[in-house]
Structure 1
Amino acid sequence: MLLEVRDLSVSYGKAVALERVSLEVARGEFVAVLGPNGAGKSTLLKAISRACPSTGTLRFADESLQALPAHAVVGKGICHCPEGRRLFPELSVLKNLMLGAYLRKDRAGIEADLAAVYELFPVLRERAPQVVSTLSGGQQQMVAIGRALMGRPSLLLLDEPSVGIAHRLKLEIFDAIKRIQRRGTAILMAEQDAQSALRVADRVYVLEHGQVGRSGTSAALRADDSIRQAYLGVD
């Protein structure tokens, strides 16, 4: 197993954000985490990337992550694409992408990965010198995903990649994420768009009030009446 999360809990003061959450992601697997706003999806990804303190067990490639700072987690092979993209708006597309490789020294490998990002998102090659703040929301999301890929992750954490994006670009981005998985990168994605997530993910966990309420394959959850009513708008 690539990622193992056991009894993970996170609190902000007296407010409990996650309570004894357990999940796992196999090598090369695509796992989605669904749930409404406030369910704890973003907190889960932050805890895994060590951007917030937590209790419980976090193991990645048979090593504990709990004592590691965030930059060391990146070095282990986990790259986090956060909600809101968190780009450097005054810098160019190319400079934003290259910041994802800041821990790397392998120049040939970096150039190869940059070419792979451009193959995945051809518009970024065209816009490489353009200032990021002038791009559309969907194009900025492509930059954010590309920047994470420049870290050459074994596990890519994606937080709400479809938020604020036009439908056409949303479809393009989800298709690209599926291609990333097919190339061998495991993906853990937090997402509110259940229909899109169930279309591309292998397995799904549903967070409810900071706890795992349901889990299963995408096919099984698509057929679950309570999931259909709550998340797909189907009676």
Structure 2
Amino acid sequence: MLLDIAKLSVSYGKAVALEDVTMRVGEGEFVAVLGPNGAGKSTLLKAVSRAQPSVGHLMFRGESLHKYAAHEVVGKGICHCPEGRRLFPELTVLKNLMLGAYLRRDKDGIEKDLDFVYSLFPILKERTHQIVSTLSGGQQQMVAIGRALMGKPSLLLLDEPSVGIAHRLKMEIFDAIKRIQRGGTAILMAEQDAQSALRIADRVYVLEHGHIGREGTSAELASDDYIRQAYLGVA
């Protein structure tokens, strides 16, 4: 198992954000986490990337992540594309992308991965030397995903990649994410767009009020009456 989580809990002072969350992600698997705002989706991803302290069982390839700091987790093969993108707006597209490879020394591998990012998002190649703040929101999201890929992750954490993005670019981004998985990278994605997530993910967990409420394959949850009513708007 690539990522194995059991009884994971996170609190902000007296407020409990996650409580006894148990889930897993296999090698090369695409797992989506659905849930409303405030359900704990972002907190879950931050706990995995060690950006947020947590208690419980958090194992990556059989090794506990609790002993590592966030920057060390990147070196282990976990790269986090956070909500809100967190880019360096005054830098160019290329410089933002290359910041994702800051721990790497394999020059040929870096060039190969940069070419892969440009194949996923051709518009970024056209705008290599453009300042990121001048890009559209969808294009900035492409840069954020590309930067995470430049870390050469075994597990890519994606937090709400479709928020605030035009429908056409959203579909382009989701198709690119599926291509990333086909290339062998496992993906754990927090997402509110249930319809898109169920279309491309292998398995889905539904997180509500800090707890896992439902889990199953995308096909199973797409036919679940509660999911259809609460998340897909189908009576």
TM-score range, shorter chain: over 0.9
User: Which amino acid counterpart does residue 77 of structure 1 have in structure 2?
Assistant: G
What's the Cα RMSD here?
Answer: 0.4
- Distance in 2, Cα, partners of 1:129 & 1:136: 15
User: Which amino acid counterpart does residue 107 of structure 1 have in structure 2?
Assistant: K
Equivalent residue number for residue 214 of structure 1: 214
C-alpha deviation, 1:4, in angstroms: 0.2
Any runs of at least 4 consecutive aligned residues in structure 1 with deviations exceeding 6 A, and if so which?
none
Equivalent residue number for residue 230 of structure 1: 230
- Distance in 2, Cα, partners of 1:40 & 1:88: 26
Equivalent residue number for residue 144 of structure 1: 144
- Distance in 2, Cα, partners of 1:148 & 1:76: 13
- Distance in 2, Cα, partners of 1:25 & 1:85: 23
C-alpha deviation, 1:40, in angstroms: 0.1
C-alpha deviation, 1:67, in angstroms: 1.2
Alignment of 1:143-182 (within 5 A): 143-182=143-182
User: Which amino acid counterpart does residue 201 of structure 2 have in structure 1?
Assistant: A
Equivalent residue number for residue 50 of structure 1: 50
Q: Are residue 68 (structure 1) and residue 48 (structure 2) matched?
A: no
TM-score, scaled relative to structure 2: 1.00
Aligned residues: 235
Q: Secondary structure at the match of 2:180?
A: helix
Q: Secondary structure at the match of 2:212?
A: strand
Alignment of 1:1-235 (within 5 A): 1-235=1-235
Deviations 1:156-189 (A, max 9, x none): 0000000000000000000000000000000000
Deviations 1:98-146 (A, max 9, x none): 0000000111111111011001111000000000000000000000000
Q: Which structure 2 segments of 5+ residues have no match?
A: none
- Distance in 1, Cα, partners of 2:142 & 2:210: 29
Deviations 1:43-102 (A, max 9, x none): 000000000100001100111101100001000000000000000000000000000000
Could you tell me the percent identity over the aligned residues?
A: 80
User: Which amino acid counterpart does residue 63 of structure 2 have in structure 1?
Assistant: E
- Distance in 1, Cα, partners of 2:179 & 2:106: 24
C-alpha deviation, 1:35, in angstroms: 0.2
C-alpha deviation, 1:202, in angstroms: 0.3
